[in-house]
Structure 1
Amino acid sequence: MTITRLLRASLLAGCTLAAAPPALAEHAATPATREDALTDTIIVTAQRRETIASDAVAAPRQIALPADAAAIAARVAGGDIFGNGALSGQLSYRGLAGERVLGRVNGQRFATGGPNAMDPPLHYAPSILVERIDIARGVAPVAEGPSLGGAINAQLVQAQFSDSASLTPQVRMASQYRSVDDSYAVGGLAALASERWRFGLIASREQGEDYRFPGGTAVGTSFERNLYGVHAGFQTGAGELFVEYRRSETDPSGNPPFALDMVYFNTDFVQGGFRGQITEDLGLTLRLGHVAVRHLMDNQTLRQPAAAPMQARATFADADTVTAEAALRFGGSRAYVEVGADAELTDRFVTITNPTNPAFFIQSQPNVRAERMGAYLQWRGQLGAAQFELGGRIDRTAQSAGIPQLGAAVPMGPRGLAAGFIASGREADDTTVDAVARVWIEGGAFVPRLTLARKTRVPSVLERFAWLPTEASFGLADGNIYVGNQALKPEVAWIAEAGFDFANDWLTLRPTLYYRRVDDFIQGTPFDATPGVINSPVEMVANMNGDPTPLMFRNTDAELYGADLDFVVRPLTNLELAGTASIVRGQRRDIVDDLYRIPPANLRLSATWATGDLSLGAELFAAADQNRVSLTNSELPGDGYATLGLFARYAFAEGLAIEAGVENLLDEQYAPHLAGRSRVAASDVPLLERLPGPGRGVWARLTAQF
């Protein structure tokens, strides 16, 4: 069925903008760290916040909870998702993804463990436990740390202080079943809290089989993950001392776009500190954190068929991150000066082995370290009717790599590359400067806004120190082999965006136009001037690994521009129509080519009818063709598609509700343009074809809070 026919058949379909389905929370707290006008907030809650500055879902909920929280974040205007597996999706925001978008969980930033980003930040935020997702609108404030694009933070459900002097219980539970992959998810919070103390336990369990699509079964897409943790807080005056610990355990889970699948991710999170007011006009934030990732991936446990003994691989990866933050805020919430400093120390180690041959091992990332220290100043004020936020930050980053060790069975080609890497500098230092200026005018239903910024990103340790040609590319999953480049310079983006927020009793409208000019944009480019001619050691090793045309990370020039909007229309008391629309264009400025993995134009619409305890609705999502693709990365065009879903919600009592729906009602066969390409031979998805979207299925979810 064509998009036009489906649109015509679905006039009442729509989407509650930037919506997420419910998990555990019935009430979600408003972010207090910055102005609502600067934040898109996806709230997993049954209550609607009437604000033009954040995206909040209204009951009923539109979709089955995806295991991957990135699929929730992707519903924001300007959002999309790199589909690299059930637990490995990356948010694409206004054409930028990966390390260009700052990702955090519970406000804590950290280095992912997988060299190919099998565990991007939202991997550690099970949707069943997510309370809200905050996305900085377009540009992250300098107080949040360095990032080239926006910033995203997934807040997991936690105990809340109560109004009682004695400890009282708080319980939240949610469970879901989804037929298309025979998956289930269950999670919850058990807590005790008073006006001074709060103690909470959280836990979740998710498991799913290979999902079905109209052409068969996508083999190698099963998943399994557990998370549990404890947290506590003590409220003193207007501030809080807090501490939390979580353990995330991902068991064998498929990653069809990659050469290897997850065997495990065992990851520990710990953080603590103070946040709040010391006096009426002086705020203080202190935070210390540590994240330890232990990871194994292979092509034996889940991959069908398993690789032959000579090609068998098991890769072990560790990543440790230590973070520290401190900030003082002088003034109130609408007029203040904030000064702060932060540090982030990471240490990674990746070893490739052959499980059938103990003499074969290669340390592809040997003791790779990055140390960043930064400071910032941010000023929030007012000139007449104009509100403004001005900020600047400076960061110093030092990176280094150790000496790789290789087993006796490793052939001479990699040995020669290792010797050359050992003889190289294996160190880099960068100083970067960011600046952000936001202006908006309050005074009624119409709020115009303007943002100008200079943002930077230091090359990742993978882009700099990947001495061995492999497919590791932080999740691009394009089948190309990449090699690093120690001569890389930091990316520098010059950004301008303008728009307005309009809200009254029956209409909310928030369009934005933006332009981002990126100097020294890091892109995979042909290794030398004779692609396909194997005349260098790198090309010889790459050819041994199946790709005679490797790419090297180099500085190029790029630009991204586009528009997005979200809206809500309430023509009747019981009826709400809502939606988002996004379009982005990304292209190289140094050569005639398009940027890789730029999402197509898309539209999301919904209609929701609610009366009493019952709500009913429909949602339509449509994506256009994508013909502007990267020749450098051998990207193929993508076809447009549209899907339709139905949903319903019934509240039995306060805090207890059941929700259900049908996804892909018309059983449309489609493949999202940003989906990765399958590497699983024993699958109904042909080799190197994009992973299709799930077929028709039903889902049901039960939520409770008391």
Structure 2
Amino acid sequence: MAFNTRGRAMLLASLSFAPLHPVLAQDTPERNITEQDRPGQDRPRRTPDDPILIDRIVVSAVRPDRAAPISEDEMAMPEQIALPADATAIAARVPGGAFFGNGTLSGQLSYRGLAGERVLGRINGQRFATGGPNAMDPPFHYAPSVLVERIDVARGIAPVAQGPSLAGAVNVQLFETDFADGPDLSADLRFTSQYRSVDDSYAVGGMAGVSNDRWRFGVLASREEGEDYEFPGGTAAGTSFERNLYGAHAGFRTGAGELFLEYRRSETDPTGNPPFFLDIVFFDTDFLQGGFRGEIADDVELTLRLGHVAVRHLMDNQTTRDPAAPPDRARATFADADTSTAELAVRIGKANSYLQVGADAELTDKSVTITNPFNDGFFVESQPDVQAERIGAFAQWRGAAGQVEFELGARVDSTDQSAGEPQLGAAVPMGPRGLAAAFAAADRETRQTTVDAILRSWLPLGDITPRLTLARKERVASLLERFGWLPTEASFGLADGNIYVGNPDLAPETAWIAEIGFDLDAGAFSLRPTAFYRRVDDFIQGVPFDETIGVIDSPVEMIAAMSGDPTPLQFGNVDAELFGIDMDFAVRTVDRIEVSGTAGFVRGKRRDADDNLYRIPPANLRLSGAYRGDGFSFGAEVFAAAGQDEVSAFNEEEPSESFAVVGLFARYDLARGLAIEAGVENLFDEFYAPHLAGRNRFGASDVPLFERLPGPGRGVWARLTGRF
């Protein structure tokens, strides 16, 4: 089967902790700097430690709130990989994580088989709506890896205090200047620079800040650029990228609290997206947030956060697409997304025994207009002024019953969604005009209420801690899934070549979740396995538009057929289940030598049909071995994935083959706070195509059309990092 045998393809035109094992920690020689040398390490209220609830990946040299080392000899683990431009690939290294390869800057995180809007993604604690209707800018598109300090992943499910989310929650923390310990000003300088040969890319980023015990101020910036990457067999065309980011942040300490403010500007320039019909021309995005966090009385903490994110986006099939689409099929799509957020929470009690109550609101306004750059009379508002207004409230109780500790929480959210009337140009044919008129005459507003409830419990028994999680989580359909009236390939990044249309009658997804596992830390050996089951009622995915599949007897099917897909899909509710097991582990039986890794397996099935869910990652294993000396470290890492043959027949998903890729890495400490790192990726120049990789749609590429994009070939990388 090819990519489009059924004709669906378009024609070409917070809590956090340092993990138990260093495979999740990628830091530089900051380990030699004492707590007295580091200014401003007294902000525990931003990141209280709780290893039961959160996985942490430390990316930079900075570990501002680590209370204990990740290994007994307090040596830092060297970096195992070249920092990818897409921070999602780093987050995917947690147990249960996987990576949708939709483009160099457009990857999506899959967590225990769920992806897209089902996984809550935030940057510096701020949630927002992406701008691209095909998720060319998922949340971590705006987090250059060279500026990432750490990535916190809620283990299994997101706490109700973080907002609605069907699966886990991930927060990326960028560099930020801390308060100093005294009244004298202290400087804080951090930087990362990297070169990678496989795509001839460079990245440089850093932060400069000053602070004392009452004020802090910092600026940060990064620049990244890369060419098409090489693989065994040629060049993957359309994978070049270019991105800039700059911003500033400030804080003022008032007693035990802090007033804070931050602003960032992200500018993505022409960047290829081979799995999609269009490529990025630009993303110009502004982030602004501020508020207060800290104690307002003894054992009473207040968090107030206000934020706004504005995304401005253009994508087309002319700027980087090779060959460019002919004039009659040329498209340039403009998309805007504005998100305003407000959060208020009060916590009463101690760090491990408290009651927290709060409320939050999220207002989203999006629009998408499709144009033809060669015809001023052709424009279609495929998402006309679509809006979502969500207001929620929650209560979360952390306590103990005897020796058993627990976190119990519940939240309720009310979401209003609406759409405007689409405007069309004079050159738009009658088919879309008829659909637009029908959409304008229909009810374009809906309100739904969702309820989440979670219970996470654990029993500390010395070296071993059994744990159990039970939860009910819900997700309201996205604006695209509900109001996408025009049949297009927009699917929020599924990149399956199908044409989709929205469904205003979608019910919320409801997941019933059970997880059981334990944390074992016996010094020389650590192990953290988790078995999980998710039963999802009203799971949203594409279903046949009508019962007469392949018979073109409706305006939607007629328009889809004109674009090359006579069997369009409509977003609909089905029933699904996901189950599996994942773990991380470390062995430290020999002085200075450690073997560590992660492993995972997940299975996704439909319960209402004899089929599997689409784009479920195969079983995988990541294994790293390292020697850590005084000022010099080196090691090797292997990542292996099994073949995936439990694929979705409905989505015509093809099986994938197993593979294993080996890399080498080393680090040398040039001075305190300064290190050079280097490595070799894909040491044996293995050809492999990850199961979750997108399919190529660039004609002028060495990757055949509609085949999975292969992984990078053998290459070397070098990186210089430091903090002063």
Question: Which TM bucket (shorter chain)?
Answer: over 0.9
Q: Does 1:32 find its partner at 2:47? A: yes
**Residues 452-491 of structure 1: pairs in structure 2 closer than 5 A:** 452-491=470-509
Seen in structure 2, the aligned counterparts of structure 1 residues 265 and 121 have a Cα distance that, compared at 3 Å, is: same
Distance 2:363 2:26 in 1: 33
Residue pair 1:526, 1:632 contacting (<8 A) in 2 also = no
Q: Does 1:633 find its partner at 2:648? A: no
2:348 corresponds in structure 1 to 330
2:514 corresponds in structure 1 to 496
Aligned partner (choices 106, 129, 133) of residue 88 of structure 1: 106
CA shift at 1:633, angstroms?
1.3
Distance 1:693 1:416 in 2: 44
Aligned partner (choices 527, 530, 545) of residue 548 of structure 2: 530
Distance 2:493 2:118 in 1: 12
2:700 corresponds in structure 1 to 682
Residue pair 1:251, 1:264 contacting (<8 A) in 2 also = yes
Seen in structure 2, the aligned counterparts of structure 1 residues 79 and 138 have a Cα distance that, compared at 3 Å, is: same
CA shift at 1:138, angstroms?
0.3
Question: SS where residue 161 of structure 2 aligns?
Answer: helix
**Residues 373-392 of structure 1: pairs in structure 2 closer than 5 A:** 373-392=391-410
Distance 2:480 2:365 in 1: 12
**Residues 48-67 of structure 1: pairs in structure 2 closer than 5 A:** 50=68, 58-67=76-85
Gapped regions of structure 1 (runs ≥ 5): 1-14
Seen in structure 2, the aligned counterparts of structure 1 residues 294 and 33 have a Cα distance that, compared at 3 Å, is: farther
Q: Does 1:205 find its partner at 2:223? A: yes
Query: Aligned partner of 2:57: which letter?
Result: I
2:24 corresponds in structure 1 to 18
CA shift at 1:36, angstroms?
2.7
Question: SS where residue 37 of structure 1 aligns?
Answer: coil
Q: Does 1:312 find its partner at 2:330? A: yes
Aligned partner (choices 386, 396, 399) of residue 414 of structure 2: 396
Question: SS where residue 135 of structure 1 aligns?
Answer: strand
CA shift at 1:262, angstroms?
0.2
Q: Deviations over 1:612-635 (max 9, x none)?
A: 100010000000000011112111
Distance 1:480 1:288 in 2: 38
Distance 2:453 2:326 in 1: 52
**Residues 584-623 of structure 1: pairs in structure 2 closer than 5 A:** 584-623=602-641
Distance 2:519 2:191 in 1: 35
- Which has the larger displacement, 522-531 or 130-139? 522-531
CA shift at 1:572, angstroms?
1.3
TM-score with structure 2 length normalisation? 0.93
Aligned partner (choices 206, 213, 221) of residue 188 of structure 1: 206
Distance 2:635 2:700 in 1: 38
2:578 corresponds in structure 1 to 560
CA shift at 1:50, angstroms?
4.7
1:450 corresponds in structure 2 to 468
Distance 1:20 1:481 in 2: 41
Residue pair 1:24, 1:44 contacting (<8 A) in 2 also = no
CA shift at 1:35, angstroms?
2.9
Seen in structure 2, the aligned counterparts of structure 1 residues 57 and 374 have a Cα distance that, compared at 3 Å, is: farther
Seen in structure 2, the aligned counterparts of structure 1 residues 43 and 368 have a Cα distance that, compared at 3 Å, is: same
Distance 1:195 1:19 in 2: 29
Residue pair 2:105, 2:241 contacting (<8 A) in 1 also = yes
1:68 corresponds in structure 2 to 86
Q: Does 1:260 find its partner at 2:266? A: no
CA shift at 1:166, angstroms?
1.6
Seen in structure 2, the aligned counterparts of structure 1 residues 49 and 701 have a Cα distance that, compared at 3 Å, is: farther
2:359 corresponds in structure 1 to 341
Percentage identity across paired residues of the two chains: 68
Distance 1:652 1:22 in 2: 11
Aligned partner (choices 123, 145, 158) of residue 140 of structure 1: 158
Q: Does 1:700 find its partner at 2:718? A: yes
Residue pair 1:18, 1:73 contacting (<8 A) in 2 also = no
Q: Deviations over 1:503-549 (max 9, x none)?
A: 12211110000000000000101111122111111010001111111
**Residues 228-247 of structure 1: pairs in structure 2 closer than 5 A:** 228-247=246-265
Aligned partner (choices 234, 238, 249) of residue 267 of structure 2: 249
2:3 corresponds in structure 1 to none
Q: Does 1:515 find its partner at 2:509? A: no
Q: Does 1:302 find its partner at 2:320? A: yes
CA shift at 1:411, angstroms?
0.8
Residue pair 2:27, 2:76 contacting (<8 A) in 1 also = no
Seen in structure 2, the aligned counterparts of structure 1 residues 677 and 23 have a Cα distance that, compared at 3 Å, is: farther
Distance 2:693 2:432 in 1: 31
Residue pair 1:43, 1:131 contacting (<8 A) in 2 also = yes
Aligned partner (choices 389, 404, 424) of residue 371 of structure 1: 389
Residue pair 2:28, 2:722 contacting (<8 A) in 1 also = no
Distance 1:288 1:393 in 2: 20
Q: Deviations over 1:43-75 (max 9, x none)?
A: 12456875789xx99421100000000000000
Q: Does 1:98 find its partner at 2:116? A: yes
Residue pair 1:60, 1:648 contacting (<8 A) in 2 also = yes
- Which has the larger displacement, 98-107 or 440-449? 440-449
Query: Aligned partner of 2:494: which letter?
Result: L
Residue pair 2:25, 2:77 contacting (<8 A) in 1 also = no
1:7 corresponds in structure 2 to none
Q: Deviations over 1:580-606 (max 9, x none)?
A: 000000000000100000000000000
Residue pair 1:18, 1:57 contacting (<8 A) in 2 also = no
2:167 corresponds in structure 1 to 149
Residue pair 2:60, 2:148 contacting (<8 A) in 1 also = no
CA shift at 1:32, angstroms?
2.3
Aligned-CA RMSD value = 1.7
Residue pair 1:52, 1:503 contacting (<8 A) in 2 also = no
Distance 1:676 1:517 in 2: 27
- Which has the larger displacement, 19-28 or 118-127? 19-28
Residue pair 1:23, 1:45 contacting (<8 A) in 2 also = no
Aligned partner (choices 194, 216, 219) of residue 176 of structure 1: 194
Q: Does 1:226 find its partner at 2:244? A: yes
- Which has the larger displacement, 182-191 or 627-636? 627-636
Residue pair 1:396, 1:429 contacting (<8 A) in 2 also = yes
Query: Aligned partner of 1:17: which letter?
Result: V
CA shift at 1:18, angstroms?
3.3
Distance 2:30 2:386 in 1: 39
Residue pair 2:194, 2:204 contacting (<8 A) in 1 also = yes
Residue pair 1:351, 1:361 contacting (<8 A) in 2 also = yes
Q: Does 1:665 find its partner at 2:671? A: no
Q: Deviations over 1:473-500 (max 9, x none)?
A: 0000010010000010000000000000
CA shift at 1:239, angstroms?
1.2
Residue pair 1:17, 1:76 contacting (<8 A) in 2 also = no
CA shift at 1:652, angstroms?
1.1
Seen in structure 2, the aligned counterparts of structure 1 residues 701 and 449 have a Cα distance that, compared at 3 Å, is: same
Q: Deviations over 1:161-188 (max 9, x none)?
A: 1112121111011100000000000000
Distance 1:416 1:52 in 2: 62
Query: Aligned partner of 1:42: which letter?
Result: I
- Count of paired positions: 690
Residue pair 2:22, 2:77 contacting (<8 A) in 1 also = no
Query: Aligned partner of 2:400: which letter?
Result: Q
Seen in structure 2, the aligned counterparts of structure 1 residues 616 and 23 have a Cα distance that, compared at 3 Å, is: closer
CA shift at 1:23, angstroms?
11
Query: Aligned partner of 2:47: which letter?
Result: A
- Which has the larger displacement, 478-487 or 438-447? 438-447
CA shift at 1:96, angstroms?
0.3
Gapped regions of structure 2 (runs ≥ 5): 1-20
CA shift at 1:21, angstroms?
6.1
Distance 2:441 2:608 in 1: 32
Runs of at least 4 residues off by over 2 Å: 15-36, 45-53, 56-59
